[in-house]
Structure 1
């Protein structure tokens, strides 16, 4: 399941299609996802059997974003989140090592930590007070000697640990699959573009303002594929924002890049221009940022600064604009609901007054009540509403836009830029790559 597609995609080739007779739960794979990714059955977004299989074959096997290192300052710092629908604690243990555990007591299953974040030396279950260390060990059981006797072995009853935790550019990822490839192998050529986004200034990035959380009644794949590179919706869905002058009118002069394993990015050349006017002082900051990247990668790097939008398969997306960066995770909460976690990300080197301005701009555009966020949430929920009925779940969504216009990114922009790239911005090449990879994972029983 973890074979990389990067070599084939980087040469402009589509990886081998999943056999149409393979099974995705009770369905033929070919009935749900066309071999070339150009059509996706509506049942993929409403069938509970498919959703349950996703928890097993995608969320229990893929590397998932669980937080930012700047949220875990000092030993004993922790945050809580979910991996799929499994609640987890991400903690920097008392020795400084990053770990993740299932947030469920080994006695009766209650969450041992119910705070969003904090600093602690132990996690104590509120049900029966079993207490665990930041290394996951069971260290205290009330009345152990009198109620359990001498045969009770605490060493066998620690918290269930996520076997893999790793970081890249300040981002923390975790994976439940003991046989998973290393994080950088899973990300493949996407690591190159993450580097452009996360290490372009000395000191890296940090999350500011905490985590915004809200729910939307939509299947998790809809926002994931949108951020993979759906620019076609911007003039329609976000037309009011353009009229207000909050962003420039969209052109078709841009790129959509697939880097393998379902990951992709896309933007106008020169980055997503969120607004005609730039905050005083920020234009100089961006110029310095671009200059540093051009010095490292050549003049073509300016076409990818900022990166734009992107999705790391399955459910982590980002928006890197001329004003702010937003990380978000589309946590599945059932077949027709997500909980959104959203962070405002800035360069540590940014002056404090610009960080404050960027945080406001992020909230205005993509906070829970943001101009663009409300546009998207309303549309996405209307998609799910239209799929609820017997007739509405019949038929297929169409993903043919820009078909056949992909070529190696290096042909369009030169080395060292990897992946397979479309020569226009408004294409559904990234969505096709997303669903081809999705079908491979959903039909794989061996991983």
Structure 2
């Protein structure tokens, strides 16, 4: 049974004082408090499963990348046994960082300080001048390896946790896995990254980005309103000078789970009707998927979908698939349908991680993906358009990354630190009839339930 300690900050504030569970409000102080940030590194990033990258970034034996699990640098490496290992990037001898590079290929990871050597799986090989036993005789070589995390590879995605005896990765995903399978496990060949991830630093607390990634749909209507003016939803201005209306895109189904994973499932009927002129109600899931394949899937791949998923999952994929959502604590995924000038639709698939770099700094990391079997010319187009829209200088991300620093700065004010973030727009109509999947589900205009669930799990971890 989980016990709750409700830690107290140095000024006497309890963690539970920062969240009003009854009124669904969170004090802005949470977005910049240094003491709270240090607790998050221990209670969240050292205890949950953290997304680190994709297995196709390290396809060969000895390949590695250096990533972060909260405030800890780690080496993500493919060892000689073809397995992926995640090891703390700290030499157990004198605390030197083992790898100072972003990645590469190495059969041995060598500490530049005193020359201690480690295998890609983290095992200690030895120190220079073997006959002098410069690693000493107090500890065995087995005891001197790099600290190893627990690793899960899911649909090519690499996750790790320091919580060695904690919940399994499947338990951590919970009900979200039923939906995530339709995104990450669609084909036999699987996905690949289209080059290394883009990265840039934002002067903002990691939670400003992460709580938005928990399926905040409402901000699209205002922060990204240009989509209705010059983007794919634009139309000829009316007599009042107004462009396209984004409001219809705010309706759909939203799913949230116990562990703070969420997604927005947006109806495809309007797209199918506009593209084909056919009535979606008269079409089977197979016909819908063939007319409008999921982002990143070609018509030639549709038979694979039909063989890999249940009727209920195919119903979801062909009617209201997850298009935007998150992995708790700091990951976001986007599977977006991009209309093309010739009337066709191109898929964009991106993954973001909002890596904590301090109470008021995060690193934005962006991966662009495609199915391995996608034709090269389509991959090239997907990469270009995905970067233009969702990359570090993309039109959407320029909007988002402008708001987060303002929130962080405001949260430091003597008065504003006690102002509350409010999550009080609730779904009131219950679970939609005949919804095929598990989890908590709301239908209609986008609401706050998904983001509030993100904060509820944050609160549970911080007080556990």
Q: TM-score range by the shorter chain?
A: 0.7 to 0.9
Call closer, same or farther: CA 1:65–1:220 in 2, change over 3 Å. Answer: same
Which of 311, 326, 331 in structure 1 is aligned with 2:355?
331
The CA distance in 2 between the partners of 1:176 and 1:149, in whole Å, is: 26
Task: Output one character per residue of 1:158-197: Cα deviation in whole Å (capped at 9) or x when no partner.
Answer: 21111x1111111111110122111111111111111111
CA contact (8 A) 1:38 1:400 kept: yes
The CA distance in 2 between the partners of 1:255 and 1:368, in whole Å, is: 28
Is 1:101 the counterpart of 2:125? The answer is no
- Other-structure match for 1:356: 380
Call closer, same or farther: CA 1:205–1:225 in 2, change over 3 Å. Answer: same
Q: SS of 1:165's equivalent? A: strand
Which of 259, 277, 287 in structure 1 is aligned with 2:257?
259
TM superposition shift of 1:31: 2.0
Which of 372, 375, 395 in structure 2 is aligned with 1:371?
395
CA contact (8 A) 2:57 2:193 kept: yes
- Other-structure match for 1:423: 443
Call closer, same or farther: CA 1:43–1:303 in 2, change over 3 Å. Answer: farther
Is 1:189 the counterpart of 2:144? The answer is no
Call closer, same or farther: CA 1:405–1:218 in 2, change over 3 Å. Answer: farther
TM superposition shift of 1:332: 0.5
TM superposition shift of 1:288: 5.8
Question: RMSD across aligned C-alpha pairs, in angstroms?
Answer: 2.8
The CA distance in 2 between the partners of 1:22 and 1:73, in whole Å, is: 44
Task: Output one character per residue of 1:319-365: Cα deviation in whole Å (capped at 9) or x when no partner.
Answer: 11112111111110111110111100111121111100000011101
* Unmatched 5+ stretches in structure 2: 235-245, 277-289, 338-346
TM superposition shift of 1:243: 1.4
CA contact (8 A) 1:33 1:39 kept: yes
- Other-structure match for 2:231: 245
* Unmatched 5+ stretches in structure 1: 4-17
Call closer, same or farther: CA 1:400–1:149 in 2, change over 3 Å. Answer: closer
Counting only pairs closer than 5 Å after superposition, residues 57-72 of structure 1 correspond to structure 2 as: 57-72=43-58
- Other-structure match for 2:435: 414
Runs of at least 4 residues of structure 1 off by over 6 A? Answer: none
Task: Output one character per residue of 1:257-285: Cα deviation in whole Å (capped at 9) or x when no partner.
Answer: 01221111114223998xx999xx99665
CA contact (8 A) 1:81 1:89 kept: yes
Larger Rg: 2
Q: Which stretch has the larger CA shift, 27-36 or 186-195?
A: 27-36
- Other-structure match for 1:308: 323
Counting only pairs closer than 5 Å after superposition, residues 13-412 of structure 1 correspond to structure 2 as: 22-23=6-7, 25=9, 26-36=12-22, 38-146=24-132, 148=134, 151=137, 153-162=140-149, 164-247=150-233, 249-251=246-248, 252-270=250-268, 285=297, 293=305, 296-298=309-311, 300-302=315-317, 306-322=321-337, 323-407=347-431, 411-412=432-433
